[in-house]
């Protein structure tokens, strides 16, 4: 889940993912025995492109689903289930892309070094690995089976959370091109923060409000009129978003307050 493009990495990890994060990636190649200089950056650029394409597709699917569901509980749209089948291989790809980034960074690919690289990968990206695992092993079963035929509207809302990812990718490209001092970089950072706030944090009050409008309840009444496990699940989903957003705001404050020489660094 994601972190703003054009801003430093709040997690400090080597490879970072699409869900609001910077995504290193690979496309067509398996790692060679001796990575060439610049190969890691090429894979990262490719991964950012893949992440952006996936984000556009997810956001577009989410908007279509939301607009098609007049009843937020019972109305159906085929994309709410079918897009998940695309999301599963993407999450697996993204996890491997994160590891591949770490692999290219280390350079020495002996068997012993590979084990060290894998341990470093797990340590640096434990939050994102947990995030991916929750999506694959919890949210996917819920979306495909456990919710039955209800709640396509809310699945569409969750899809739109990817809106911030293209700005994430653009921000990392600008950093790679050493364009941190440009107006485009600053504007991109603002857009990333804005889309992150709207689509990853305010999204949850919007879903509660939408349900309340249909049921004749105020926003504050909704949490007391839905199953307790729904509130718990939403709490688990929004908690890391708030954490990441707070880090991003701190990074953004330092970025805009820093002198030009420091920004270039």
Q: What confidence tens digit (pLDDT) does each residue in 161-219 have?
A: 999 999 988 988 888 888 888 999 989 999 999 999 999 999 999 999 999 999 999 99
Q: What is the pLDDT of residues 37-55, one digit of tens each?
A: 455 566 677 778 888 899 9
CA distance 21 to 15: 9
Query: What is the b/e burial string over 186-212, where b = at least 16 CB atoms within 10 angstroms of the residue's CB?
Result: bebbebbbebbbebbbebbebbbebbb
**Across 97-115, average pLDDT:** 69
Mean pLDDT score of the chain? 79
What secondary structure does DSSP assign to 182-217, as a single string?
A: SHHHHHHHHHHHHHHIIIIITHHHHHHHHHHHHHT-
23: buried, middle or exposed (CB in 10 Å: 19+, 13-18, 0-12)?
A: buried
Q: Is the pLDDT of residue 4 over 60?
A: no
Q: What is the pLDDT of residue 133?
A: 86
How many residues does the structure list for the chain?
A: 265
Pick 36 or 76 by higher pLDDT: 76
Q: How confident is the model at residue 15 (pLDDT cuts 50, 70, 90)?
A: very low
3-state secondary structure at position 18: coil
CA distance 25 to 48: 7
CA distance 58 to 141: 18
Q: How confident is the model at residue 146 (pLDDT cuts 50, 70, 90)?
A: confident
Q: Is the pLDDT of residue 264 over 70?
A: no
Q: Is the pLDDT of residue 91 over 90?
A: no
Q: How confident is the model at residue 104 (pLDDT cuts 50, 70, 90)?
A: confident
- Which residue intervals of the chain are DSSP H helices? 39-68, 79-106, 111-124, 126-134, 140-141, 152-159, 165-176, 183-196, 203-215, 228-257, 260-264
**Across 114-139, average pLDDT:** 80
Q: What is the pLDDT of residue 256?
A: 67
Report which DSSP code applies to 139.
Answer: I
Beta bridge partners of 20: 2
Query: Own/partner pairs for 135-141, CB < 8 Å, 24+ apart?
Result: 135/19, 135/87, 135/91, 136/88, 136/91, 136/92, 140/84, 140/87, 140/88
3-state secondary structure at position 20: strand
């Amino acid at each position: 889940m994601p972190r703003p493009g054009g801003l430093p990495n709040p997690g400090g990890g080597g490879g970072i993912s699409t869900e609001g994060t910077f995504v290193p990636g690979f496309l067509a190649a398996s790692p060679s025995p001796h990575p060439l200089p610049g190969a890691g950056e090429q894979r990262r650029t490719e991964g950012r492109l893949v992440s952006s394409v996936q984000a556009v597709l997810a956001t577009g699917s989410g908007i279509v689903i939301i607009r098609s569901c007049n009843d937020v509980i019972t109305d159906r749209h085929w994309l709410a289930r079918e897009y998940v089948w695309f999301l599963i291989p993407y999450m697996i790809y993204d996890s491997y892309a994160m590891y591949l980034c770490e692999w290219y960074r280390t350079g020495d690919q002996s068997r012993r070094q590979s084990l060290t690289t894998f341990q470093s990968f797990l340590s640096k990206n434990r939050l994102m690995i947990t995030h991916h695992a929750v999506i694959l092993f919890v949210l996917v079963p819920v979306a495909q089976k456990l919710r039955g035929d209800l709640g396509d509207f809310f699945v569409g809302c969750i899809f739109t959370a990817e809106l911030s990812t293209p700005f994430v990718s653009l921000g990392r490209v600008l950093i790679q091109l050493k364009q941190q001092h440009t107006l485009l970089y600053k504007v991109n950072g603002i857009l990333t923060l804005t889309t992150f706030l709207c689509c990853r944090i305010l999204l949850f009050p919007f879903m509660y409000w939408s349900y309340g409008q249909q049921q004749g309840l105020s926003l504050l009444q909704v949490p007391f009129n839905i199953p307790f496990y729904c509130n718990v699940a939403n709490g688990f989903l929004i908690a890391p978003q708030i954490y990441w957003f707070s880090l991003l705001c701190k990074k953004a404050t330092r970025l805009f307050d820093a002198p030009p020489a420091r920004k270039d660094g």
